[in-house]
Structure 1
Amino acid sequence: MTILDRITAYTGSAVEGSAELIGTIIRLADHLGAVVSGAATISVSGLWNSVRSVLLVVTVTFAAYFILRLAFRRLQRVLASAAQGTSTIRRTGIIGLSAGADLLTVLGAWVMGYLPALYAGVQAGSSQTLFLNAFLFIELAKVAARVLLAPRWTTLRLGRIDDTTAAYWYFWLSRLVSAIGYTLFFVAPLLAANVSSSAAEAVRIFVLFCALAMAWVIILQNRDAVRARLGRYVERGEAEPLVRILSGVATFWHIVAIGYLTLIFVLWLANREAALPFVLLATVQSLIAMAIGVALSVVVVRVATGGMHLPADIKARLPLLEQRLNAFVPNVLRVIRGLVMVTVVLAIAQIWRLADFIGWLSSEFGQRVVTSVIAAFLILLAGGLVHLAVQSWVEYRLNPTYGRMPSPRERTLLGLFRNAFTIVFSVVILLLVLTQLGVNVGPLLAGAGIIGLAVGFGSQKLVQDVINGAFIQFENAMNEGDMVTVGGITGVVERLTIRSVSLRTVDGAYHLIPFSSVESVSNFMRNFSYHVAAIGVSYGANISNVKRAMRDAFERLKETEFGEHIIDDLEMHGVTEFADSAVVVRARIKTKPGQQWTLGRAYNEILKEVFDERGIEIPFPQVTLHLPEGKNMPPAQATRVVDAPRTGEKSRKRSVDGAAHKRQRKSRVVQDGPADEGQGALEETEV
């Protein structure tokens, strides 16, 4: 049946119900007119005999109930004192004991009321039986209300409400239950048996209308209080779908409540045999479904809010696992919460016959849809767990605290594997989910191939990046943490992908270099390294003493904390260059990868100290001026000192100019001296 058909059927039922309601009102007016006009035969004597016969039973029952209640209150005071400050389990047991004692008082009074009825020869359907049954039903309902509200004892109360609110609600509930119960189960049957059915119906309608008016008053009195409570619940933000519902009904909940109670009363008048039981049963079932849904939703929200907490040992091994779980589990719980709310909505629609969801599930199409959705959800869940496991395994392999220290090659390959696995696995899971949902993935794969080919032709640079990167990784040219020179930039490799390398230079700059621009890779940290010490000494120094000083400095270096980074003896190369102002003596120190710079700085410091101790001079450029014989240098061009050039800089000849001898970063010694015969210009020479 389509939704339009159902709307048409419900519209027809509503019209029929309205017509039946109008007929009922007309018949009720006739009954009331008959009662008022005296047309109905009223047996006053029969009514008095029925009331007199039940009066003794009523008196005995209420007297016994009053006495038993006095004894029960003494016991309840003791139980309330015992429940104060105890655990939740013990307090629940004491509340159960109090409820049992309260139930026994009702049963005891009911039994005591049956004794005079049995003595008088009670019969089924008599006035005594009607009263006793009404008493038992009504007082049992009050027992349930006292267990929930406990208006006198806070410690025996199940609900978290204050004493004033508990007393208020118990007062109104007890009176509504008494008025409706005694009217429907005792007074109305008594009038129907001894007066007329019209009189009984009039009393029922009058009492129920008074109860309805009383309920209206209660709702209006608590309109603002309930709205404020709903507002506080919304502010706490628990169970988001429920919060949205509550935020929507908080402003006009009283209108909904009054309309619902009025509908119940109208249905009772119109069709109490069919419509009213259906509405009441559907209401109870809907409340149960909503209570279960809210309970599950609150549990899911609290689990998601509390988060996952792993033991310290697991957190030490897998530092990021708890963070990943707290990112993965709430998403799963959010999906579960959504499914719970959808299930509740569908259940309510099924209860009120707005949709035949069970019939749809019984069909082949419905089963196929539900199976596909469940299978897709399970695939996503399994995929998330597998991805979480792989990420945790990579993290464990990269954790240097446990197991063996991962090599730079392992760190690089594991990082690339993690990225590649995430991409490939996500695509596979997506295709599996689409397959379960009935999507034909064949055209998608073909289209993806065509698009990939088009992208390959249009993005040759990207293809070149990927191909170069693949060969660089295959040849193990560099790994994370290596000091390399790539594309003219020297720095530490911070990140490697299949397309690019990220370097951090010594000044802190971050460089992203695509592999398509890489022509060569210079790795300073492969297997071992060298520190090359090219030391310039003066031409007058003894080379043997210089070599001995360099070896002694090397021996001192081995005794420092840097000695553990040296993996071979000093490799002496000897004199390698006759520079302009120095003789260059070179040696080489073999070190562990990446330690050449730190160790070289330490070796230079120690070598400077040894040279100073042994008087070995590290030369610096000097200038001697030779003047022609018989000529003196003007006073303005007297000896001056400027910055000295670096060792090894080439000497330059220039014509003498009194103001042209100022040079930055050079120091010159200006001296008077004899000139060579025939020298027509001054000559500038470094010494």
Structure 2
Amino acid sequence: MRIVFLLLALLLSPVAASAQIPGVTPEPAVEAKSSDADLDELIRIIENDATRAALIERLKRADAEADIPVDAPPDLSIVRQLAEYTRAAAEGTSATLQALGQVFVDLQQGLGGTLDGDLNVLRDAAVGVMLVAAALFGSFLAFRIIVLWAQGVIARRVTGGGWVSRILGAMAAALVDLGSVLLAWAIGNVVALMVGGVGRMGINQSLLLNAFLLIELSKLAARSFLAPRFEALRLVPVGDSNAAYWSFWLGRVISLIGYTFLFVAPLLAANLSVAAASAVQVLVMATAVTIGIVIVLQNKDDVRNWLSGIAERRGHDGTGQLLVVLGQYWHIVAIVYLVTLLVVWFANPEQALPFMLGATVQSVIAILVGVVIVSFISRFVSAGLRLPEDVKQRLPLLETRLQAFVPTVMQVVRWVVIAGVLAAIAQAWALFDFVGWIGSPGGQQAAGSVISAALIILVCIVLHVVVASWVEYRLNTSIGKTPTPREKTLLNLFKNAFTIALVVFGLMLALAQIGVNIAPLLAGAGVIGLAIGFGAQKLVQDIITGIFIQFENVMNEGDVVAVGDKSGVVEKLTIRSVTIRDLNGTVHLIPFSSVDQVSNMVRGFSFHVAELGVAYDSDIGEVKQAMRDAFDLLMQTEHREDIIDDLDMQGVIAFADSAVTVRARIKTLPGKHWAAGRAYSEIVKKIFEERGIEIPYPHVTYVANTSKKRGDAALPPPLQGEGPAKL
């Protein structure tokens, strides 16, 4: 039975194949006769032993060949793919050249057939068409006069208004223009019905009317945007000369191609010959492409200057440099495209031309959408991000931080949009099946990995902004309670540690999402850490000492400390080092491994120690009272808020060579003893002068040599030491 079915399939395959040929429909009688003959032949073969054995052997070989798997894996090597691509290109080039040769043959036959055709039929058809055309275009030209007058009135009324008035005026002018087109088309229909008989219209007149309606509506759209006569109604920002230039050429090209393909070619094909219609189409397409090339060459410099101006306004960034290159070579690309369009139309007007036009329209739409999105992003970035005043009061650095991150994110989004536009263009021209790839498992996996990695990075950025803003809010002295120095130190250390951890873990997770094996990275990090632990002992010592310093809370940011031989204000404190600015403004970075001791001068409270030397003949009681009176005057100044206790008078503490040292202490808030001490010293100096209390200081007296003889032995002048007496 299997052999019989295979035999029937082989015998009936020519009939099935002929049934699949377009335009071929087998007649029932012929099909029945062929089937009877095939059955008789089959019976004759089966009755003969020799032919039957040969048939069985042939069917066995066919069965064995059928068992061979046909879905063998293709050869996907680069050499094989290159060979397949080269063969396809060569076959396509050959087919194109053959099609071009056939076009010229058809053109020659068409021109020759025009001379030998039945011109009487064409003349009879042209008479009716000319009557309809006269009524159609005559009425349209008459209506155009009224339309121009009405549009002038509308333009004068909207002059000086904003964009809303301009748009409304353009819409009103377009409606008036549309009315003239529809009225002329209606008059043409009436005349066509009258020419063709009562209630009847010829096919040629219908072709003309339909062509007129479609073409004039297309030209109306161009006129509505360009408005060559009225600048107040123009929706495109171009000058009067450019608007008139483009309106003129667009109208001529639309009319030339439209009336040829919608009216002239069908008229010639129906009344003269198909070859003549093809010849006219070829001539018109060649003329249209020539006009396009002329337009491109005429506007070569203007477009280049326009693109260069845009690049200069952008500061010659990446996009600006691309625009400069495009301005240099855009005319070559445009001419090659027009010539390719003509060649493709010559070769395969039914398939290649619609594909090329559709791909062009899709590419233009994708580019326009991309330009709109990129322009919006650029305007958003240039305008900047502005936060409300209350938010800026609470978080002063948040706006600056967002203005640093948002442009970067928008730049990434801009490149994503550009990549999407390129993918849409490649999809339109069948260069890369992006939709098919994104629908495949591999494409979905790749897209999912990239999106996941991007989301992880975005979440990390958001977390960094949130944590940094929270730390900033806690450190803001204008809102809530004033943070302590300990809080300032710990919060800044937390922010730095969180940022480092976030960068490391975010990078690891993003790499894992795109398929990078992070296990070797983690192992490498462990090895590097071990190497650092053995080789960088100073660094480890810095970190360990810094950890204990933080635990012991011996200093914080803003404290005045002495670390080693340096002293000053702590400006920055990390886990490894401390940054100190001294009294001269010099910044010192001191690693903790070199710190033997830390002296904090502003922890808890401070003392100003006043040690004053007075003459031996001074009354110590009077000196003490003068110091107390100076303290009382100090408490009447602005420093009274910084002093937290009474004057600690300790009295005489030392007998120097020429002075008696009296000491007193003033207890102040942390770090306030320097200012209070300076003010107290000024007051003490003034009171001592008023009360005649002398502060001794050393004197040196120089006696000049008065001897006039060279031989006289002059004694050296006496050198007086310390003492309160004046010499």
Is TM more than 0.5 here?
yes
Q: Is the 8 A contact 1:484 1:521 kept in 2?
A: yes
Encode CA deviations 1:99-125: one digit per residue, 9 max, x unaligned. 122112111110111112223347576
Alignment of structure 1 residues 448-459 onto 2, 5 Å: 448-459=525-536
d(CA) in 2 for partners of 1:28 and 1:375?
Answer: 59
Query: Which one of 109, 113, 117 corresponds to residue 35 of structure 1?
Result: 113
Partner of 2:661: 584
- 1:599-653 deviation digits (Å, cap 9, x = unpaired): 11211221122222222222335799xxxxxxxx99959xxxxxxxxxxxxxxxx
Aligned equivalents of 1:58 and 1:335: distance in 2? 58
Alignment of 1:520-539 (within 5 A): 520-539=597-616
Residue in structure 1 matched with residue 92 of structure 2 by the alignment: 14
Do the aligned partners of residues 484 and 241 (structure 1) sit closer, same or farther apart at CA in structure 2, a change above 3 Å counting?
closer
Q: Equivalent residue of 1:355, what SS?
A: coil
Choose which of 86, 94, 108 in structure 1 pairs with 2:169.
94
Aligned residue type for 1:389: V
SS at match of 1:490: strand
The equivalences for 1:112-127 within 5 A come to: 112-119=187-194, 120-121=196-197, 126-127=203-204
SS at match of 1:511: strand
Counterpart in 1 of 2:564? 487
Match of 2:477 in 1: 400
Which letter maps to 1:27? V
8 Å contact from structure 1 (residues 380, 433) kept in 2:
yes
Look up the match of 1:24. 102
Q: Cα RMSD (Å) of the superposition?
A: 2.6
2:716 paired residue among 659, 669, 674 = 659
Shift in Å, 1:529: 0.6
Q: Which residue of 1 aligns with 2:280?
A: 203
Answer whether contact 2:658 2:722 (CA < 8 A) is retained.
no
Alpha carbons of 1:522 and 1:279: their partners in 2 closer, same or farther (altered >3 Å)? same
Matched, 1:105 2:183: no
Instruction: State the TM-score, normalized to the length of structure 1.
Output: 0.88
1:542 pairs with 615, 619, 629, which one? 619
Q: Pick the aligned partner of 2:388 from 311, 329, 344.
A: 311
Contact 1:465 1:514 in 2 (8 A): yes
Is 1:366 aligned to 2:443, yes or no? Answer: yes
Hey, what does 1:630 align to over in structure 2? Answer: none
Q: How many residue pairs are counted as aligned between the two chains? A: 641
Aligned counterpart, 1:650: none
Match of 1:295 among 372, 377, 385: 372
Distance 2:88 2:224 in 1: 41
SS of match in other structure, 2:231: coil
AA aligned opposite 1:178: S
**Which of 129, 139, 154 in structure 1 is aligned with 2:206?**
129
Distance (Å, rounded) in 1 between the aligned partners of 2:590 and 2:705: 60
Closer, same or farther in 2 for the Cα pair 1:56/1:25, shift >3 Å?
Answer: closer
- State which of 107, 115, 127 in structure 2 corresponds to 1:52: 127
> What is residue 341 of structure 2 aligned with on the other side?
264
Question: What does 1:249-260 align with in structure 2 at a 5 Å threshold?
Answer: 249-260=326-337
Deviation at 1:579, TM superposition (A): 1.9
User: What secondary structure, in the 3-state scheme, does the structure 1 residue paired with 2:233 have?
Assistant: coil
Q: Secondary structure at the match of 1:252?
A: helix
Do the aligned partners of residues 152 and 235 (structure 1) sit closer, same or farther apart at CA in structure 2, a change above 3 Å counting? same
Q: Which residue does 1:611 correspond to in 2?
A: 688
Deviates more, 1:523-532 or 1:240-249: 240-249
Q: Is it true that 1:81 corresponds to 2:81 in the alignment?
A: no
1:597 offset after TM fit, Å? 1.5
Counterpart position of 1:320: 397
Q: Quick check: 1:241–1:341 contact (8 Å CA) kept in 2? A: no
Question: 1:32: how far off?
Answer: 4.0
Deviates more, 1:58-67 or 1:612-621: 612-621
SS of residue matched to 2:608: strand
The answer to whether the aligner puts 1:168 opposite 2:225 as a matched pair is: no
1:56 partner letter? L
Q: Distance in 2 between matches of 1:173 and 1:93?
A: 24
Q: Using the TM superposition, give the Cα deviation of residue 515 of structure 1 relative to its aligned residue in structure 2, in angstroms.
A: 0.8
Q: 2:144 aligns with which of 63, 69, 93?
A: 69
**Scaled by the length of structure 2, what TM-score is found?**
0.83
Q: Secondary structure at the match of 1:594?
A: coil
Mapping 1:375-394, distance limit 5 Å: 375-394=452-471
The one of 224, 229, 242 aligned to 1:152: 229
Shift of residue 63, structure 1, vs aligned partner: 2.4
Query: Which secondary structure does the structure 2 equivalent of 1:251 belong to?
Result: helix
The one-letter code sitting in structure 2 at the alignment partner of 1:140 is L
Q: Distance in 1 between matches of 2:597 and 2:264?
A: 105
* Structure-2 separation of matches of 1:304 and 1:259: 37
**Residues 16-68 of structure 1: per-residue CA shift (max 9 Å, x gap):** 432432442353254146337x4x4x222222211111222112212221232
Equivalent-residue separation in structure 2 for 1:353 and 1:125 (angstroms): 43
Match of 2:428 among 319, 330, 351: 351
How far the C-alpha of 1:361 sits from its partner, in A, is 1.4
CA–CA separation in structure 1 for the residues paired with 2:654 and 2:238: 97
Q: 3-state DSSP class of the match of 2:674?
A: helix
For the Cα contact (< 8 Å) 2:657–2:722, is it kept in 1? no
Aligned partner of 1:659: which letter? P
Give distance in 2, aligned partners of 1:506 and 1:239.
47
Unpaired runs of 5+ residues, structure 1, are 625-632, 638-656, 672-687
Matched ranges for 1:224-239 at <5 A? 224-237=301-314
Q: Whose helix fraction is larger, Structure 1's or Structure 2's?
A: 2
Distance in 2 (CA, whole Å) between partners of 1:516 and 1:507 is 25
Query: Is the contact made by 1:20 and 1:271 (CA closer than 8 Å) also made in structure 2?
Result: no
Contact 2:188 2:209 in 1 (8 A): yes
SS at match of 2:467: helix
CA distance in 2, matches of 1:634, 1:247: 87
